Amino acid sequence: MSARRWFGGRLVVVGMASAVALTLTGCGDGDGKDSEKDEVASVQGDKAGAQNDKGATSELATYVEGQRKWVQCLRDKGLDAPDPDAKGSVKLGDASKLKKDPKFLAAMEKCSDLSLAVPAGVEKAQQGKLSKKEIETRKKYSKCMQDKGAPDFPDTNDDGHTEEVTWDQSSAGAKRAARECGSIIGVPADGTYTPQG
Is the pLDDT score of 89 beyond 70? yes
Model confidence band, residue 95 (pLDDT cutoffs 50, 70, 90): confident
Residue ranges per structural domain of the chain? 3-123, 130-185
Per mean pLDDT, which range of 75-84, 111-120, 167-176, 177-186 is the poorest? 111-120
> pLDDT class for 11, splitting at 50, 70, 90?
very low
Note the pTM of the prediction, 2 decimals: 0.43
Per-residue confidence at 96, pLDDT binned at 50, 70, 90? confident
**Percentage of the chain modeled with pLDDT above 90:** 37
| Separation CA 164–CA 127 (nearest Å) | 13
Region 173-184: mean pLDDT is 92
The fraction of the chain above a pLDDT of 70, given in percent, is 65
Question: What is the 3-class SS of the chain, one letter each residue?
Answer: CCHHHHHHHHHHHHHHHHHHHHHHHHHCCCCCHHHHHHHHHHHHHHHHHHHHHHHHHHHHHHHHHHHHHHHHHHHHCCCCCCCCCCCCCCCCCCHHHHCCCHHHHHHHHHCHHHCCCCCHHHHHHHCCCCCHHHHHHHHHHHHHHHHCCCCCCCCECCCCCECCCCCCCCCHHHHHHHHHHHHHHCCCCCCCCCCCC
pLDDT in tens, 128-163: 788 999 999 999 999 999 999 999 999 998 888 887
